[in-house]
């Protein structure tokens, strides 16, 4: 752990650089020099609006969602003792997608900006509750992580079927909107929704970071962790609920953005080891920087149009993850 402060400082610097790039580039043609001039007293009102009402809220949303996915992915990998686990493995994204697609197809609350994220969040929470109840009833002695995975897979398959049913009933516009939402994008960023996201993510993050020692003990096995003083069932339940809440809030805010919670903790673990006192905060910061950079690419690669951010994370994430697996296999 002697190098941990330097490593955390390095990642914090990477986040600052990613934020600077995110607010400096975009489809509007407003470059870094123009943005610096918006800070002056006689700044152009249009440029100031682009910076303060479009780019900064979007950068903040990317930072929050990226950090949440990185931290929750690391948590699920520790909880399930599987380095290939990721935040959506337990069906939470499927539940959120059902809620969001149902809102789009039925037209509930048309014209109200909060109905779509509210539907997605409620769907994710319902999925989280359903999976946990199945796991607890199937393993009365406590939550068995193997049962939890199976429950998540089953719930995810059911939610996918419901999504296909809803899409088959949708009109063309609703169908296109639903597909675009499920690919993940950050175009709906706003200061108000970001503030609500902070209220949900900060307490959950604090809880997960406080479990770092317990995760280190769990990595040795549940029986060993119990004899070393960890309250295994309480730790598993707390970690599942806090990480699932983070995923639910993130999906509600930005749609389904894949690979962040899979490759970021895996990459940090391969680089710096399995100590969760470093791994958890490092995964949060690395996830923040990764999604900021991915969203910047999504906005400029086909400007003035933009790609869904989830497409960019998948295009970058797949080959990167293959490289990580090959490097890990040689060790």
The CATH number that applies at residue 11 is: 1.10.3470.10
Indicate whether 280 pLDDT > 90.
yes
Task: Note the pLDDT of residue 320.
Answer: 81
Mean pLDDT for the stretch of residues 42-53: 76
Indicate whether 330 pLDDT > 70.
no
pTM for the structure as a whole: 0.90
Going by C-alpha positions, the residue among 106, 144, 92 that lies closest to residue 252 is 92
Query: How far is Cα 95 from Cα 252, in angstroms, rounded to an integer?
Result: 10
Q: Which residues of 315-326 are buried (b: 16+ CB within 10 A; e: fewer)?
A: bbbeebbeebee
pLDDT digits (tens, 9 = 90+) for 208-218: 999 999 999 98
Mean of per-residue pLDDT scores for the chain: 86
Q: Identify whether the C-beta of residue 219 lies closer than 8 Å to the C-beta of residue 274.
A: yes
CA 4 to chain centre: 24
pLDDT digits (tens, 9 = 90+) for 109-160: 766 778 888 899 999 999 999 998 888 888 777 777 888 888 889 999 999 9
Mean pLDDT for the stretch of residues 183-189: 87
* Contacts with 101 (C-beta within 8 Å, 6 or more apart), sequence order: 163, 166, 167, 170, 178, 181, 182
Q: Identify whether the C-beta of residue 120 lies closer than 8 Å to the C-beta of residue 251.
A: yes
User: In a 10 Å sphere around its CB, with 0-12 CB exposed, 13-18 middle and 19+ buried, how is residue 67 labelled?
Assistant: buried
Indicate whether 40 pLDDT > 70.
no
Mean pLDDT for the stretch of residues 222-246: 85
CA distances from 106 to 159, 174, 255 (A): 17, 9, 18
pLDDT band with cut points at 50, 70 and 90 for residue 33: low
Query: How far is Cα 113 from Cα 97, in angstroms, rounded to an integer?
Result: 17
Indicate whether 39 pLDDT > 80.
no
Backbone angles phi, psi at 171, to 5 degrees: -80, 175
Listed ranges 7-11, 184-188, 189-193; the one with the highest mean pLDDT: 7-11
Going by C-alpha positions, the residue among 97, 93, 95, 99 that lies closest to residue 73 is 93
Please give the DSSP secondary-structure letter assigned to residue 179. Answer: H
Task: Note the pLDDT of residue 15.
Answer: 96
CA distances from 228 to 186, 209, 224, 231, 233 (A): 43, 19, 6, 9, 14
Indicate whether 41 pLDDT > 80.
no
Q: What domain count does the chain have?
A: 1
| Domain region containing 269 | 4-330
Indicate whether 1 pLDDT > 60.
no
Query: How far is Cα 74 from Cα 219, in angstroms, rounded to an integer?
Result: 12
Mean pLDDT for the stretch of residues 87-92: 86
């Amino acid at each position: 752990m002697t190098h941990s402060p330097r490593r955390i400082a390095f990642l914090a610097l990477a986040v600052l650089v990613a934020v600077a790039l995110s607010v400096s580039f975009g489809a509007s043609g407003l470059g870094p020099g123009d943005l610096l001039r918006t800070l002056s007293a006689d700044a152009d009102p249009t440029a100031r609006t682009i910076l303060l009402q479009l780019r900064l809220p979007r950068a903040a949303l990317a930072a929050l969602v990226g950090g949440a996915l990185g931290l929750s992915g690391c948590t699920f990998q520790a909880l399930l003792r599987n380095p290939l686990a990721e935040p959506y493995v337990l069906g939470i994204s499927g539940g959120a997608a059902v809620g969001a697609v149902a809102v789009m197809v039925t037209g509930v609350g048309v014209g109200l900006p909060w109905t779509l994220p509210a539907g997605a969040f409620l769907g994710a929470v319902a999925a989280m509750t359903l999976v946990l109840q199945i796991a607890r009833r199937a393993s009365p002695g406590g939550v068995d992580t193997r049962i939890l995975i199976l429950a998540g897979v089953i719930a995810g398959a059911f939610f996918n079927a419901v999504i296909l049913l809803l899409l088959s009933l949708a009109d063309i516009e609703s169908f296109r909107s639903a597909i675009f939402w499920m690919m993940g994008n950050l175009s709906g960023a706003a200061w108000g929704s970001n503030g609500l996201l902070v209220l949900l993510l900060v307490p959950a993050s604090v809880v997960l970071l406080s479990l770092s020692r317990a995760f280190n003990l769990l990595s040795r096995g549940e029986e060993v962790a119990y004899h070393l003083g960890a309250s295994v069932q309480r730790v598993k339940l707390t970690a599942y609920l806090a990480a699932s809440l983070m995923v639910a809030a993130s999906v509600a805010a930005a749609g389904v953005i894949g690979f962040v919670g899979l490759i970021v903790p895996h990459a940090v673990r391969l680089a710096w080891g399995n100590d969760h006192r470093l791994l958890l905060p490092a995964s949060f910061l690395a996830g923040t920087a990764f999604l900021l950079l991915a969203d910047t690419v999504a906005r400029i690669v086909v400007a003035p149009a933009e790609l869904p951010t989830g497409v960019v994370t998948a295009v970058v994430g797949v080959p990167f993850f293959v490289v990580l697996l090959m490097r890990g296999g040689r060790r």
